[in-house]
A and B are shown apart, each in its own frame.
Chain A
Amino acid sequence: MIRFDAVSKTFGGEQGHAQTAALASLDFTVAEHEFVCLVGPSGCGKTTVLRIAAGLVAPDAGRVTIRGEPVTGPGPDRAMVFQQATLLPWADVVTSVAFGLELRGVPRAERESAARDLIRTVGLEGFERHYPRQLSGGMQQRVGLARALAVNPDILLMDEPFAAVDAQTRRSLQEELLRLHLATEKTVLFVTHDIDEAVRLGDRVLLMSARPGRILETLRVVLPRPRPADLDTDPEAARLKAYLWRQLRALPS
């Protein structure tokens, strides 16, 4: 469904700034309804991959297609959840979740009722009229997730969405995301630096090299869905994580 073909991207180079090669001939695909996690050392260009998929950044070379159509910009088939929730500080939860629908000209009553349903889905009932500064980091990410789901995209692009929340909250957000993925069958491209998270969530894990980033290895996560509750003690999960750790540690960062 998503296809990266020999994608390269270099930043800088103008006005005397040094050039940074972010991605070098990167290839991968994500199948329909698949949940793919992208892991790699920090600064390897994971976020750049997402931004290219989102249509925020154009690659210097190579081809990015979605269902065979080249990506030329953002589109209604994709929505993104950001590392910092980037909730508009002047918008309450309902307005935030309805943001994408508002941009599409959906009438207020309709978009707010859709937003309220999603707010319930992500467990934020009762916080409809709260502002971002009144919400914890985990709650803000729930709003960010609901905002992305509100436009009913086929593809969810997620950029380390749970990196900035505490471990307990992260676990609960992960479980919620797994539940939502199972229920909605969205295609997910999920960037993380957390190996445990990648194995817990993904159907496949793509391991990226240090900068300039390319895909070193693809691992299939052979675990049933819904994921077993005792994943922490699962031998297959443990084996995968140990292997990924070894590979990552061998990389310069």
Chain B
Amino acid sequence: MATVARPAVLGPRAPAGPATVGALRVGPALLALLVGAALWEATSRFWAFPFQPPIAAIAHATWRMTMSGEIPGNLGSSVTVLSIGWGMATLTGVPTGLALGRYRLLSVALDPYIDALLAVPNLLLVPVFFGILGLGRATQIAVVFLYSFVVIATTARSGLATVGRDYVDMARVFGASEPQIFRQILLPGALPAIMAGLRLGISRAVRALIGAEMLLGPIGLGALLRQYGGRFDAASVFGVLAVLVALALIANYVVLVADRRLNHWANG
């Protein structure tokens, strides 16, 4: 090694910069997907079961719905509702969670509400907001918001609790004020948990979105799903489903990439 001049006590030179971040292993996953598709295709042809259409039929139905504008229009609506609902949940959930973590009394006082919201199924929120906001996007957004808000807030709260007291003491010795301790120690320390909360939030947001759209529509991929389900058009149902899964995966991936950028120190 070229570290002869380096004092022995320093040890070997550590790798420069943050460790490699990306490199999601796509190979094995791709293989598994191919095997799954092959199995699907084989069993679908073997049984000729109408609710398991062959992949070609699903692709064809998806293409047809894309050209007819059904998928683009409803996808646009779903993405809009998801972005607004989850975005609002993030903007309000993170500060709420941090406040809950910081002020124990507030947390204790609000615990029953938080526990109730964590436990309640998303479908139960739909009639509640329908009663207040009526049939339309506002109800969808409200359901998505509330269902993801609660998990974003609670993860941010527990993220604060994981920051070691030693760091707080250290900052105090160096003269940090309470706001400085919050900004320099607690907030960055809680950031990995906050980002994990945003990912949990997005998966809950997608679930709430589909639930709201399926239950009352009037537009969105969930509404489209219900419409074709009612017609027993399995190929179109699976086509919409594929788009939905893709939407959920992409949303999750976006947050994951942001997380790795922000928290490379915790993911190394």
A103 touches B266 (CB 8 A): no
Shortest Cβ gap from B181 to chain A (Å): 9
Per-position contact with A for B155-183: 1 when CB-CB < 8 Å, else 0?
A: 00000000010110111111110001000
B151 at the interface (CB under 8 A from A): no
Q: Give every chain B residue within 8 A of A169 (Cβ-Cβ).
A: 9
Assess A54 versus B9: contact at CB under 8 Å? Given A88-B188, A133-B268, A134-B14. no
A203-247 at interface with B (beta carbon < 8 Å): none
B18 at the interface (CB under 8 A from A): yes
Q: Give every chain B residue within 8 A of A56 (Cβ-Cβ).
A: 169, 172-173
Per-position contact with A for B1-27: 1 when CB-CB < 8 Å, else 0?
A: 000001111110111111000000000
B175 touches A133 (CB 8 A): no
* Residue among B15, B172, B263, B268 making CB contact with A74, cutoff 8 Å: B172
A139 touches B11 (CB 8 A): yes
Assess A103 versus B173: contact at CB under 8 Å? Given A89-B265, A133-B268. no
A168 at the interface (CB under 8 A from B): yes
A103 touches B14 (CB 8 A): no
B153 at the interface (CB under 8 A from A): no
Size of interface on B: residues with Cβ below 8 Å to A: 33
Shortest Cβ gap from B42 to chain A (Å): 48
A71 at the interface (CB under 8 A from B): no
A79 at the interface (CB under 8 A from B): yes
A103 touches B7 (CB 8 A): no
Shortest Cβ gap from B185 to chain A (Å): 7
A84 touches B166 (CB 8 A): yes
Query: In the complex, what distance in Å separates the CA atom of A129 from the CA atom of B17?
Result: 7
Shortest Cβ gap from B72 to chain A (Å): 42
B80 at the interface (CB under 8 A from A): no
Query: In the complex, what distance in Å separates the CA atom of A197 from the CA atom of B169?
Result: 26
A74 touches B8 (CB 8 A): no
B210-268 at interface with A (beta carbon < 8 Å): 263, 265-266, 268
A103 touches B10 (CB 8 A): no
CB closest residue in chain B, given A92: B265
A138 at the interface (CB under 8 A from B): yes
* Residue among A82, A124, A129, A139 making CB contact with B166, cutoff 8 Å: A82
CB closest residue in chain B, given A78: B173
CB closest residue in chain B, given A84: B166
B184 at the interface (CB under 8 A from A): yes
A16 at the interface (CB under 8 A from B): no
A130 at the interface (CB under 8 A from B): yes
A136 touches B166 (CB 8 A): no
Chain A to chain B contacts (Cβ below 8 Å), 8 pairs: A74-B172, A80-B173, A82-B170, A88-B189, A99-B184, A103-B176, A104-B175, A151-B175
For the complex of A and B, 9 pairs with smallest distance between CB atoms = A134-B14, A100-B174, A136-B11, A90-B265, A86-B170, A172-B9, A80-B173, A169-B9, A86-B166
B contact set with A: CB distance below 8 Å:
6-11, 13-18, 164, 166-167, 169-176, 180, 184-185, 188-189, 191, 263, 265-266, 268
